[in-house]
Amino acid sequence: MQKGNITKYKPYPLVDLPDRQWPSRSIVSAPIWCSVDLRDGNQALPTPMGIKEKLEMFKLLVNIGFKEIEVGFPSASQIEFDFIRRLIDENLIPDDVTIQVITQAREELITRTFEAIRGAKRVILHLYNSTSPAQRRLVFGLDKAGITGIATRGTRIVKDLVATVPETEIIYQYSPESFVLTELDYALEICEAVMDVWQPTPDKKMILNLPETVQISTPNVYADQIEWFLRNMKNRESVIMSVHTHNDRGTGVASSELSLMAGAERVEGTLFGNGERTGNVDIVTLALNMYMQGVDPKLDFSNIKEVAEVYKRCTRMDIHDRHPYAGSLVFTAFSGSHQDAINKGMAALDPTPGALWEVPYLPIDPKDIGCSYEAIIRINSQSGKGGVAYIMESEYGFQLPKEMRIEFGKAINAIADERGEELQPQEIYQAFEREYLQRTSPFKLEGFHSEEITDGAGNTTVECIARISVDGNDREIRGQGNGPIDAFVRAINEAKLADFKLVSYSEHSLDEGAEARAVAYIQIQMGDGRNCFGAAIGTDIKVASINAVLSAINRSQA
């Protein structure tokens, strides 16, 4: 960037609204949603959708719950016209869905638009013209009166043509395109001039759509513009206030959210933010932002993966791995501290239906949008013990003791550091097998028997007889203790095969049923003060526990 280029730009002026009210408001209900995927989104595609893709996308939008869908610009191309006719002629529009069509304010285009919608039950007819000073000067060469004349003449033509489609309810929508770049007082003037022609009433409202066609300021300025407009307009009760934000500054969602707080009632946007330049507002993100605040968005994204797949197939566009809610990595933590907090949060969840969702780093339950918990925690060199423990439990059922998580986590970190890439769950389990379950050298259990012995005073002890292989040589050892594990530990020590003591023991089942397997975890402390864990699996928990002791001893001598 060359020095001095910054002088080509200037900050956008603020709105004089010292008593603005929107900052203290909250979004407490869903707006009227209008999808513009099939028009605004489609016109921005390198390869626009054909009729087949448009039909699939229309069906998806209906299934999600959109009640207003902009289906095209029928005067712009034959494909657009034919698609709309097919929707109408084949009766593909549900009774509770209103289609929207858009046109510029030219008589021949408006007439063609009416030909396209003939026979539809209910249609929003959207007329727009550009109103900003740059557009007035550079594109049209007209003053304000000339631009207003375009809007009012177009409105009169629409109003006159309504009689030619008596079977169709026409809802009129007007957009002063480039609203945010237009002087506020003039934007209000041209909209009120259009209202004077159309004559909306509280029972038969029109839609005023104030688009952020190109983002040129922070979202709070757009909210101020909306609030100022609503405060100053006449016949507010006869208008549905709509917004249509783009994402040039990366704040399309914020602009729409703040405009709703400022009084807007309707939002136009697209799935995943597809649209011209950096795109339209992303309705998926906007709706799910409401959902995670406890507000019903009235749109169904309970199967976000299916929505994403249809979108990608129809538009030939991708979805970024970090895209809010829908990206492949948005519920994934690699960081050790994040993983530990998520693991603890998941373990502490209240299973009661409707209980508050409180899991650190996860603002929404992935299952609410059709995602699983499998990819919440993934392991690389940045991961820690909590993430490893989560993988072992969620994927394989192992509930590692707290201290063992630290020990095994270090082993996994060493592998990840060496590999320099993410480790898959099966690779973590294979490392667990190598580190604990397959440790059979130098000690290996060949046979084990224990029985209770009661002396004359009624005291009971357990005696064990074990046959173990030591570097390939069989040894029989005996010991007594307060249980089978204690007796085996004593037998090993008394035979001077190892010098250690038992620190902790835990076990749990891995399966259900008569042949269920159990896993035993043993922590020992060697004579030199070192601590080691061992683990073993078996259908006989007593034998598994003895093998876990040998696993720990073998690891201590590795």
Task: Judge whether 219 and 258 are in contact, CB under 8 Å.
Answer: yes
pLDDT of 454 reads 87
Tell me: the pLDDT tens digits for 79-102? Answer: 999 999 999 999 999 999 999 999
Sites in the chain below the pLDDT cut of 50: none
Burial of 291 (0-12, 13-18, 19+ CB in 10 A): middle
Burial of 503 (0-12, 13-18, 19+ CB in 10 A): middle
For the beta carbon of residue 31, count every other beta carbon within 10 angstroms: 23
Take residue 154 and report the two structure tokens written for it. Answer: 């177009």
pLDDT of 194 reads 98
Nearest by Cα to 239 from 294, 171, 183, 184: 171
Take residue 317 and report the two structure tokens written for it. Answer: 């566009």
| Cα angle value 291/292/293 (rounded, 5°) | 90
How far apart are alpha carbons 126 and 158 in whole angstroms? 10
Take residue 230 and report the two structure tokens written for it. Answer: 């609503």
Sheet with 443-454, strands from edge to edge, namely 443-454, 460-470, 473-481
pLDDT of 381 reads 67
